[in-house]
A = this chain, B = another copy of it.
Amino acid sequence: MIRFDCDYLEGAHPKILRKIVDTNYEQTPGYGNDIYTKSAISKIRKLCNKENIDVHIVSCGTQVNLVAISSALKPYQGVICVDTGHINVHEAGAIEATGHKVIITKNKNGKITSNDIDKIMKDYINDGACEHMVMPKMVFISFPTECGTNYTKDELKSIYDICKKYSLYLYIDGARLGYGLVSKDTDINTLEDISDLCDMFYIGGTKCGALFGEALIIINDKLKIDFRHNMKQRGALLAKGRMLGIQFDVLMENDLYFKICKNAVELAMKLKKALLDKGYKLLYDSYSNQQFVIINNDKLNELEKDFSFFKWKIIDENNTAVRICTSWATVEENVDKLIEKL
């Protein structure tokens, strides 16, 4: 069985494991005060070309989202997000559990537009009873989106501008950031690019080569205050924080993070081309490591003898859309085997 259902099937890039093994007996202070975390932070600052940013590394995506969002908002404030947004669908109400409404608007290929935000804000401001409404205070987007699509610089700038106009924070979920930055449908290709166009974002580790770990980057000074207090309160301060530090220290060295993501995306593009050549229909025009393809159920049953996919959506009684993921760990041979059987 060759698995393509998600991008967190294997362990970690071998360089990470090597460093964990090599440093195992060193004694380091806890809770992210170790030299490896410090080194990782220093590298991230350089890659963002910004000295004055805060970096906190936590264990998983839902955790980083709930800590970051609940830290930024006052009780009566909410976060704007597309209907397909991860915090709206697949985090079991983690944001609401911290007391905040997720204010939704319909996605366009997984994306939000500055017009969508403008409309929500005008509806809020013009409502005769706006004191009785949740005050929108943050926009949440994913890069890449849940549909594998990416914002261009112009799109993101336009979103960030409207956020600034209405005093909204812009927060970017980068669970698959590495795959997005190397995609062909965007000119946002570096950590510096993305850190120029938001108040806060995170660099996903779990799905991009780490055992676990997501690095939150806080650019807006207002969002930095007492952040570690919030982390601790939500159970997000790991005692052996070095485990997180070591992983990002390795990933941020010599472009490793980008190289391994690039390989995954190239294999996804090879697969995409094959799918299109063979006449398969794609649900979204994705240039990242996730491809969403509609397959006839009989064909799907046959393929599932050798391969696993994630069932994304029932299209009709004869057809199903499945998600096929490549990852940092995918080998070309397996992609070729899949292409052959398609």
Contacts and interface: CB of A to CB of B under 8 A. Distances in A.
Interface of A: 1-3, 6, 8-12, 14, 17, 20-21, 23-31, 59-67, 70-71, 74-76, 78, 89-94, 96-102, 104, 126, 128-129, 131-135, 206-207, 211-212, 226, 228-230, 232-240, 242-243, 310-311, 314, 329
Given A9-B28, A12-B24, A93-B78, A61 B239 contact: yes
A99 B102 contact: no
A240 B211 contact: yes
Given A24-B10, A211-B240, A235 B132 contact: no
Copies, count: 4
B212 A240 contact: yes
A206 B240 contact: yes
Contact of A10 (B21, B25, B96, B233): B25
A76 B226 contact: yes
A304 B89 CA distance: 45
A97 B89 CA distance: 18
Contacts of A240: 8, 11, 206, 211-212
Nearest to A103: B93
B91 A132 contact: yes
A79 B211 CA distance: 35
A89 to B, nearest CB: 7
A131 B12 contact: no
A128 B23 CA distance: 26
Contacts of A206: 239-240
Given A30-B6, A94-B235, A131 B228 contact: yes
Contacts of A25: 10-11, 329
Contact of A132 (B131, B232, B236): B232
Given A20-B11, A97-B75, A239-B212, A132 B90 contact: yes
Question: A2, A6, A230, A236 — which one has the most chain B CB atoms within 10 A of its CB?
Answer: A236
Contacts of A99: 93, 96-99
Contacts of A6: 30
Contact of A235 (B14, B96, B236): B236
A20 B23 contact: no
Given A64-B235, A207-B239, 15 more contacts: A8-B30, A9-B30, A17-B24, A21-B21, A25-B329, A59-B212, A61-B239, A65-B235, A91-B233, A94-B233, A94-B234, A96-B134, A97-B99, A128-B310, A131-B228
